[in-house]
Amino acid sequence: MTNSEIVDLLELTGRLMELHDRDTFKTRTFQTAAFNLDKSTADLGNLPVEELIKLPGVGKSVAQKIREIAETGHLTDLDELLAQTPAGVLDMFRIKGLGVKKVRTLWQELGVTNLQDLQLAGENGQIANIKGFGASTQDKILSALEFLQEQQGKVRMDKAAMMANMLYDELSAHFERVEISGQVRRKAQEVDSVQLLVQTSDPVSAMLTLTKLPNLKQNERESSPFVWRGRLTGFDVQVELLFYPSDQMNRQLFIQTAAESHLQQAGAGGVPLLQAAYASVVSEVTGKDTAEVEQAIYARAGLPYIVPEMREDDFAFRWASHHQNDELVTWEDLRGTLHNHSTWSDGKQSVAGMAAYCRELGLSYFGIADHSKTASYAGGLDAERVRQQQVEIDQINAGFGSDFKIFKGIESDILGDGSLDYDDDTLATFDYVVASVHQTLTMSLEKATTRLLRAIENPYTTILGHPTGRLLLAREGYPIDHRAVIDACAEHKVIIEINASPYRLDIDWHWIDYAMQQGVMLSINPDAHDLVGLLDMHYGVAIGRKGGLTKAMTFNALTLEEMSSYLQQRRAEIRK
């Protein structure tokens, strides 16, 4: 089993032990082990007990539990707890603001055992009457329930891509041509249907082939002779497989990829894209590749060619009136990465290890931005540890040539009043500062905007990190006045982050073009906590392109020399 799977089982065991009011010391043992092992790079599943007990937070008892998980895929203690816990109670942990104690109270005092009961109790006012809850907590629970209901049946971009690739590999073994289409191809940040096109001249045989594949479960009611609909085992999102003959594949790949509002757009001749897709001119290039067919469709409609990521609505055509497709940022354009974490705070790799991997990726600089002192839960750095880390960075940099550098950054918490959580003397030691909100996320639009504006006004703020604090499909971001925030960034020369983690993708792509219009650059930051996390910049590039981000307005597309010059000049301006 993977480390994350082992840690998840330990964490769930600790949570359920607390829920059932088991021995406090034993409960804490599981919770502490899960917290510490979440950062471990050791191969937990293959370590013997005598090696496991050498890891932080792991005693002999927990080490034996880890061996049980690794060898059996289960944990007896957890199985017993799950047998005593209604499945719906576990769902209640997904509600923002509901910790173990509150879930236990709702279960024991109101008999709430699922989300439907929870919503009913809130609508009837029962939650507000419980000691320690009140009307405010009840309202927050109802709002969180509404948000979760809106997200049902959806997956994030990364999981959708993984599913699509799994299906592609499976189907390609049985069919001559398979294409990933729909929301996945146009890089939607949330996906409610994973769609692929399957080339076949015999839909009946194709359907029979699919029924024999072990990981696919068909929804016969939703399917038709030419469309298979159902689920992929282990995923709660619709899978849609469309059957087309060879001469329809390119045409349909275009149609199925674009959103309906994009297909309705028409050029000067009044021909909508959807109509152009069926026009005879397309037939003349049917035998050619997908790109040529799609270019012919746009030409027939009298419209400029739009890349798949941008085929959402009419925005792309407004963008195209001022830009060319080759201006859009690509992975190859990125020269470095600036928001990353290491073992100095809550990362899993050392600064040196992260930097070395960046060099392997062909990047020329790595920016470390570990958590600041307020983020004690994440091992945030106080001023003394900042100094120690910067000494280490100087030592590592001394071993590099002129083609690579580690920049000294920090992810400084924006406090409730908008101030950063270091004094000016400490802030002045960094090459750059990523300012982010991590705590007290429940705010009105006015409060949240004011808080960000003050942080932006701080001369040491270089980059505004994940501006709304959202977690896709899990937590709605706090409301902000995007225009006011972007305008302030323009005034104070602050970069805005596109947090490339597929859990965030924040700032939302809809605001990228406005930021560029105001002269605000955007930085595609992975918020990486391990080596694999650095690759999340691929998602950031996809979202950047969807929003029309150009290489020229991408902060981390600057070369090492340009970035060094920019940061030095900014620090010099602060000292004036």
DSSP H or E segment with residue 242: strand 238-244
- State the helix-helix crossing angle for 157-172 and 537-546, rounded to 10 degrees: 100
DSSP H or E segment with residue 394: helix 383-397
pLDDT at 287: 56
Instruction: Give the tens place of pLDDT for each residue, 438-483.
Output: 999 989 999 999 999 999 999 999 999 999 999 999 888 999 999 9
DSSP H or E segment with residue 255: helix 249-257
pLDDT at 34 over 60: yes
The fold of 333-575 is TIM Barrel (3.20.20)
**In terms of Cα–Cα distance, which of 574, 328, 345 is closest to 459?**
574
pLDDT at 8: 92
pLDDT at 522: 98
- For domain 3-85, give the CATH number: 1.10.150.110
What are the structure tokens assigned to 477, written together? 């971001």
Q: Which residue type does 555 have? A: F
Please state the domain extents for the chain.
3-85, 153-244, 251-322, 333-575
Q: What DSSP line would sit under 43-110, residue for residue?
A: -GGG--HHHHTTSTT--HHHHHHHHHHHHHS--HHHHHHHHTS-HHHHHGGGSTT--HHHHHHHHHHH
The chain-wide mean pLDDT, for the chain, equals 94
- Residue 495, classed as helix, strand or coil, is strand
Query: What one-character DSSP code corresponds to residue 371?
Result: B
What average pLDDT does the segment 15-20 reach?
Answer: 95
State the CATH architecture for 153-244.
Answer: 2-Layer Sandwich (3.30)
What average pLDDT does the segment 427-443 reach?
Answer: 96
The sheet carrying 227-232 orders its strands as 178-180, 193-199, 238-244, 227-232, 216-218
What are the structure tokens assigned to 86, written together? 């209604």
- State the helix-helix crossing angle for 290-301 and 249-257, rounded to 10 degrees: 60
Assign 576 a pLDDT band (cuts: 50, 70, 90): confident
**In terms of Cα–Cα distance, which of 410, 512, 522, 521 is closest to 458?**
410
What are the structure tokens assigned to 432, written together? 């750059």
What is the distance between the alpha carbons of residues 451 and 419, in angstroms, rounded to a whole number? Answer: 8
In order of 116, 340, 392, 438, 505, the CA distances from 442 in angstroms are: 24, 26, 37, 11, 20
pLDDT at 14 over 70: yes
pLDDT at 275 over 90: yes
Indicate if the alpha-carbon torsion angle 531, 532, 538, 541 is positive or negative. negative
Assign 282 a pLDDT band (cuts: 50, 70, 90): low
What average pLDDT does the segment 490-497 reach?
Answer: 98
Q: Residue 280 burial by CB count (10 A; 0-12/13-18/19+): exposed, middle or buried?
A: exposed
What average pLDDT does the segment 129-139 reach?
Answer: 90
Instruction: Give the tens place of pLDDT for each residue, 374-406.
Output: 999 899 999 999 999 999 999 999 999 899 999
What is the distance between the alpha carbons of residues 66 and 83, in angstroms, rounded to a whole number? Answer: 20
What average pLDDT does the segment 352-357 reach?
Answer: 97
In order of 21, 259, 327, 333, 522, the CA distances from 553 in angstroms are: 54, 27, 10, 11, 6
pTM greater than 0.85 (yes/no): yes
